[in-house]
């Protein structure tokens, strides 16, 4: 499954697409193939994007068709779109890439380096735990938008946090209540006996939710807690 999210690196926004459910023997793919593509000769951003997407999928099909390569993600920054594959062998790959891209109306570069531990994937593509939460938040926000929600309208939002021990939960509650949240309910699950729902009034725009989740994340991690997500009520234009 591919997830798309943004990350700030050196004051620049990087848009990342990452394969997050890779089921493979990673030891069998010790080489990292990097492909850097930049569209040229077109002032139409839409056409450039369409061309890139077609090129990307063509490359993925060509390189993955015999199981010798795995597409693991892409990064977009400063006008360059970067594609990354882990491959079984470094032989002939650059020739395949050059053949496919040399007539595509784009500038490109590529390289193959040894990365048996998949360090690049873990550091530069795979979402962090907090980024995963933001990805899930964006999906909820998209569903609210589809229902006509007025995202900028503050409303009560419930956030769910779980802990391994009752002591951790109580310490977290003490700190979170001092930060403007209110206790809503105790919760539990098969995995965690000690959980809590806390509420706060805030908008559900992407930026507002991300800020609140980050604040909660900092508090719960002090007590080794686990953020389980959030929910809210729909606020539409008729309300």
The beta strands (E) that lie in the chain are given as 2-9, 12-19, 31-39, 69-77, 80-87, 106-114, 155-163, 182-187, 194-202, 226-232
Asked if residue 224 has pLDDT above 70, the reply is: yes
187's tokens:
């919760």
Instruction: Give the pLDDT score at 189.
Output: 85
Return the H-helix or E-strand segment holding 56: helix 45-64
pLDDT tens-digit readout, 124-158: 999 999 999 999 999 999 999 999 999 999 999 99
Q: How much is the average pLDDT of 201-226?
A: 96
Instruction: Give the pLDDT score at 46.
Output: 47
Asked if residue 233 has pLDDT above 50, the reply is: yes
181's tokens:
């949240």
CB 186 within 8 A of CB 133: no
Q: Which residue has the higher pLDDT, 71 or 191?
A: 71
pLDDT tens-digit readout, 91-120: 878 888 888 887 666 788 999 999 999 999
Asked if residue 40 has pLDDT above 60, the reply is: no
Asked if residue 44 has pLDDT above 70, the reply is: no
pLDDT tens-digit readout, 164-179: 999 999 999 999 999 9
């Amino acid at each position: 499954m591919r997830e798309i999210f943004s990350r700030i690196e050196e004051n620049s926004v990087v848009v990342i697409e990452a394969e997050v459910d890779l089921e493979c023997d990673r030891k069998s793919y010790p080489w990292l193939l990097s492909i850097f593509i930049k569209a040229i000769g077109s002032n139409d951003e839409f056409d450039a994007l369409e061309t890139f997407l077609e090129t990307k999928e063509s490359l993925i099909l060509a390189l993955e068709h015999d199981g010798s390569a795995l597409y693991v993600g892409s990064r977009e920054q400063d006008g360059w779109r970067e594609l990354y594959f882990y491959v079984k062998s470094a032989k002939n790959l650059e020739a395949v890439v050059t053949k496919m891209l040399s007539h595509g109306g784009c500038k490109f570069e590529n390289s193959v380096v040894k990365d048996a531990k998949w360090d690049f994937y873990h550091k530069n593509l795979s979402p962090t735990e907090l980024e995963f939460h933001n990805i899930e938040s964006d999906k909820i926000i998209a569903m609210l938008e589809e229902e006509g929600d007025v995202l900028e309208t503050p409303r009560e939002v419930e956030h769910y946090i779980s802990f391994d021990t009752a002591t951790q939960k109580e310490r977290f509650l003490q700190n979170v209540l001092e930060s403007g949240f209110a206790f809503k309910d105790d919760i539990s699950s098969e995995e965690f006996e000690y959980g809590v729902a806390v509420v706060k009034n805030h908008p559900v725009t992407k930026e507002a939710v991300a800020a609140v989740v980050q604040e909660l994340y900092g508090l719960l991690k002090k007590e080794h807690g686990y953020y389980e997500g959030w929910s809210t009520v729909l606020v539409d234009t008729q309300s």
